[in-house]
Structure 1
Amino acid sequence: MLVALKNIILKHWRGDYSLGFAYWIIGVGLTVAVSIGVAITNEFVSSYAVSSSLFGSILVLLCSLIVPLTIWQLVGIWRSAKYHTSEGGRLLWANTAKVMVVLAAIRAVLDFTAIGIPQFKEGVDLMSNGDMVGDFELRVLNQGTELELIGSMPFGTTESVREVVKQYPSVQVIHLNSKGGRVSEAVKLYEFIQQQQFDTYVASECSSACTLAFMGGNKRYLSKRGILGFHSASLPTQSSENLAQLNDEFKRIYRRHGVSEQFIRHAVGVDGASMWYPGHIELIASRVVDEIVESERFASSNATPQLQKSWQPEHLQQAPDDALVRYWQSVVDNLNYLNFTNSQQCVQYLFPEWFDSALALETVLPTNLYATHRRAIEQVIETTDLQADYKAVFGSTPVLANNMLDNISRDNPNYRNIIADSESYRAQPKLLCTAWITLYESALRQETIAQQAAVLRYLAYDE
């Protein structure tokens, strides 16, 4: 067997086969056979929980075999074409075969540069370091009816989920709290979720490839504290052609579930190094999410929500009165503390648009103040049902706010000017912050919670 194979290899390499056999059988036929073999290997890898090191070994092996195989095929065909006329063959077919060999060689070099080298490097990395995407954990919740995934989506994620579901066949909802991972794994998980007809739910964040798995839900739920993040496919070892294929996979799945074309274009148009977090209203309108729910709707998650990303300007208009007032009370407490300790930080908190980045409150506030503020934000988010068609109606509130400013001006004549033209007072941070604190404290001293909330909404209104 080995001797016969060696003879075939040598005979083709020397160009001893007829041009027809070399071109159609060894050239075209073997290429088709290899393509089928790669597809079967890919199906094997996709169907079983293959370790990252084994997957890397397969990538390295395939890349290492395909390069010499391609060279062997092309050299043998070229030599067969060279000898074709001496054996009575037509010059036209010989020259045509040589042209095809040159074109195939150019295509092989381009493919190897764009696809082969990146995949070879990825294979080596997987063999040496394992899957760098990260790990994940699975938790069974609510008496076995819910399953939570927290972490990344490396190779083998779906198979692990499948094994847990075998042990807990009563699972109906899968929590997805992940910043993404392997697109191939996300697609496999999407298909498994569809097959099982699970509902999907996000308590904190589901971004990048995770959104593909999320779309598999029979019903798709998002916590009021939750966020979904979207961007174009981006992996350091992928060619532009591969990335286009990955983006096509995103589009295919989104379209299957009726997501609006405008949303899809925006989602895959975001640079891979960035992330787009659309608001809850847009997610509902674009048919990405079926329902925004309070966190108590499902079992408690171990994932920590990023409230600053789920917070939206609409909350300051649509929140219930008591939650809104409690939020602004915490803001005033924060402002007073910052104005006492570092008035420049107070200004940064009030006007983040003036600075390169927003103030990281958790790093500058005492633990008790920050915890109170976080609880106030959580309550606003949880108790607000954001409405797309909300219209602000202030009635007599502007009169009330103007009377409040008149009262402030009697004691502090320049505060009205400071509030109206704050940027002119950036060089006086203590004075600037004190004026705004006085304004908010005056709003919080109105006779009723309803009046307090009305004035605060008016002050925060941005046309």
Structure 2
Amino acid sequence: MIKNFILRHWRGEFPLPVSYWGISFLLVAFATSSFDLLSVGVEKLGSSITVTAWVLFGHTLFTFVLLAWSYVGTWRAANQFVASGKSKTWATLAKIAIVLGFFSFTANFNSQTYPILKVFIPYLLGGDPLGLVKTSLLDDGKTLKVEGVFGNGSYNQIKKDIKQHPQIQKLYLNSRGGRFKEVELIAELVMAKKIDTYVEEQCLSFCTVVFLAGTNRFSTPRAVIGFHAPTLKGASQFDDELSGQAKELYQKFHLHPDFIARILATPNTDMWYPSYEELIEYGVVNRMTFGGETSNLSSYINKSKLDLLEMFRKDNYFASYEKKFPGFIEKIVDIVMPLVQSGKTDSEILNAIRAYASQYQMRALAQSTPDIRARFVRLSLKQSLEVSRYGGEACYRLLTSTLDVGKVLPKPLVREELDLGIEALSASFVPPKNYSDKAFERALTKIFNGMTESEIRAIAEPNPKDVSHTCSALVKFYTALDQEQPASKDILAYGMLNK
């Protein structure tokens, strides 16, 4: 029946009114309006960009065939209409309408349909100019590190990784964004599998959708997390629809309405970077960390001893210590190698390095000049004030030299510490005036007189299980020390550093 209908219209066997009004007119109206409806409808599906591209291109091809069939059949029906002795006027008007309809469809295609199709051309074969994310396994397969941009096909890559390694418990993200459709699908997968998400470096744009999907979401204070409204480059007509989908997704994450509104109000040409306090307040980050949660560092320094020695010798910081304290680098390598080989976390490796290096750093500062030692006191105060924003554990780690300052402190403070250490290594020793152990004890007692017993104990006997007074103790101690007269300050600084 359908085949007979198609052939009859193609031959022009239907009456002209039926061919024109019942077929051609309605099909032209359908062809000019259905593409936008279909494109929006496909975007609502949980399909990849490749599927969307094929649906849109398939629809376009089908429309071309349908209109060609419609116009040819109606044109032939007009000829049959005249051949049967009926009015030429109606037949001519029908043909004029067909020509006008063709030009109208062509104009609509050039102005609306083609620009959208052009956007989707790169995705037809599954490719994407943005490329795929790069994935790698850490922590004996329990962590999947995801780097790069979430281009078309990234969902399939991560889905495959998780299927092949069901022990994955955490995604370690380092990305500047990607395609909204890809991250939306990945987010659904992460939520379904109850996987945690973690950021140390950056998670920008739609990377944040994946981050928010984590059961536990943790990042370091210096991690850069940025948001903006969604878009599909080159197809801005989808922006409102994408914003609606994004809002629904953010609501699934139980994100506060004010936070969602701020995201969607940020143009996709801009980026909003909430403070760490805001991220915690609004539940974006629900677990604080100070870095080193994975064994990521092992993949960079899992080398031979000779290679490690060469790597550290090329570093200006380590080379400066080697010059002052020969054998320093070889000892560092001897500490690092067994930890790397046994798969220890970054935090464990870095803490071991700091535990060894800090004693030499203190010696170098002690054997420098009064000016350098005074600047060390001021730097310690600035670091204490900054770290106290993140609670007692951070202050305890700063006090015991187990804090990865690069993950917590602003870059200027990190740079200042490195520069001060290198300057101290090359300085000629100028001892403090009138120093003695008794002079040091008297000056220290004066400082402690302005502190509570709990605060004194927090500094003198650091306890990781009791850090409630550590921040106030550090800030009070270094504030009082910084306010001392230069001679007394230098006695205290030298005595502390030389212990």
TM-score tier by shorter-chain length is 0.5 to 0.7
Q: Secondary structure at the match of 1:200?
A: strand
Question: Partner residue of 1:331?
Answer: 416
| C-alpha distance in 1 between matches for 2:108 and 2:210 | 33
Residue by residue, what CA displacement relative to the aligned partner does 1:219-245 show, whole Å, maximum 9, x if unpaired?
A: 222234423210122443122x31122
Which of 151, 156, 163 is 1:166 aligned to? 163
Partner of 2:275: 279
AA aligned opposite 1:270: T
The answer as to 2:300 corresponding to 1:229 is: no
Classify 1:224/1:10 alpha carbon distance in 2 versus 1 (closer, same or farther; 3 Å): farther
1:274-308: per-residue Cα shift (whole Å, max 9, x none)?
Answer: 222212211111121211223233342779xxxxx
CA offsets per residue over residues 251-287 of structure 1, 9 Å max, x none?
Answer: 2111222212221122222222222221221111112
Cα distance per residue 1:364-411 (max 9 Å; x no partner): xxxxxxxxxxxxxxxxxxx9xxx9xx999987988876776xx79xxx
Task: Specify the alignment match of 1:429 in structure 2.
Answer: none
Cα distance in 2 for residues equivalent to 1:275 and 1:110 = 35
Q: Which residue of 2 is the match for residue 209 of structure 1?
A: 206
Residues 176 and 206, structure 1, Cα contact 8 Å, conserved in 2: yes
CA contact (8 A) 1:232 1:269 kept: yes
Question: Aligned residue for 1:46?
Answer: 47
Cα 1:218–1:28 shift into 2, 3 Å: farther
SS in 1 for 2:296: coil
Which deviations, in whole Å up to 9, do the C-alpha atoms of 1:177-225 show, x marking residues without a partner? 2111110001111111122221222232111111112222222222344
Q: Which residue of 1 aligns with 2:134?
A: 137
Q: 1:243–1:18: structure 2 CA closer, same or farther, 3 Å change rule?
A: same
Superposed CA RMSD in Å reads 5.7
SS in 2 for 1:147: strand
Count of aligned pairs: 341
Indicate if the aligned counterparts of 2:170 and 2:196 stay in contact, CA closer than 8 A.
Answer: yes
Is 1:315 aligned to 2:316, yes or no?
A: no
Equivalent position of 1:295 in the other structure? 291
Alignment partner, residue 194 of structure 1: 191
SS at match of 1:188: helix
Query: 1:337, CA displacement in angstroms?
Result: 10
**Letter aligned with residue 264 of structure 2:** V
The reply to whether residue 17 of structure 1 matches residue 18 of structure 2 is: yes
What's the TM-score, normalizing by structure 2?
Answer: 0.51
Partner residue, 1:309: none
Q: How many Å separate the matches in 2 of 1:206 and 1:169? A: 24
Q: TM-score, normalised by structure 1?
A: 0.54
2:313: which partner in 1? Answer: none
Shift of 1:451: 11
- Residues 332/215 of structure 1: CA separation in 2 closer, same or farther (3 Å cut): closer
Match of 1:457 in 2: none
Structure with bigger gyration radius: 2
**Counterparts of 2:14 and 2:195, CA distance in 1:** 56
Q: Taking structure 1 as reference, are residues 71 and 165 closer, same or farther at Cα in structure 2, changes over 3 Å only?
A: same
- SS of the aligned residue for 1:177 comes to strand
Looking at structure 2, the residues matched to 220 and 70 of structure 1 have their Cα atoms a distance apart, in angstroms, of 53
CA distance in 1, matches of 2:421, 2:481: 24
Q: Secondary structure at the match of 2:288?
A: strand
Structure 2 spans left out of the alignment, 5+ residues? 87-96, 301-382, 424-463
Residue by residue over 1:402-426, the C-alpha shift from the partner in whole angstroms, topping out at 9 and shown as x without a partner, is 776xx79xxxxxxxxxxxxxxxxxx
Give the distance between the partners of 1:109 and 1:34, measured in 2 at CA. Answer: 14
Which of 151, 154, 170 aligns to 1:154? It is 151
* Shift, 1:59, TM fit: 4.5
Q: Distance in 2 between matches of 1:246 and 1:43?
A: 9
Q: What letter is aligned with 1:17?
A: V
Amino acid paired to 2:150: M
Q: Distance in 2 between matches of 1:192 and 1:24?
A: 46
2:251 aligned with 1:255, yes or no? yes
> Is contact 2:195–2:214 with CA below 8 Å preserved after alignment?
yes
Q: Which amino acid aligns with 1:255?
A: Q
The alpha-carbon deviation at position 157 of structure 1 amounts to 1.0
Question: Structure 2 vs 1, CA of residues 23 and 137 (structure 1 numbering), >3 Å: closer, same or farther?
Answer: same
Give the equivalent residue in structure 1 for 2:241.
Answer: 245
1:77-96 equivalent positions in 2, closer than 5 A: none
Given that 2:177 and 2:203 are in contact with CA atoms closer than 8 Å, whether structure 1 keeps it comes out as yes
For 1:250 and 1:258, the matched residues in 2 are separated by 13
Shift of 1:63: 4.1
Partner residue of 2:358? none
Tell me, in whole angstroms, the C-alpha distance in 2 between the residues paired with 1:112 and 1:44. 26
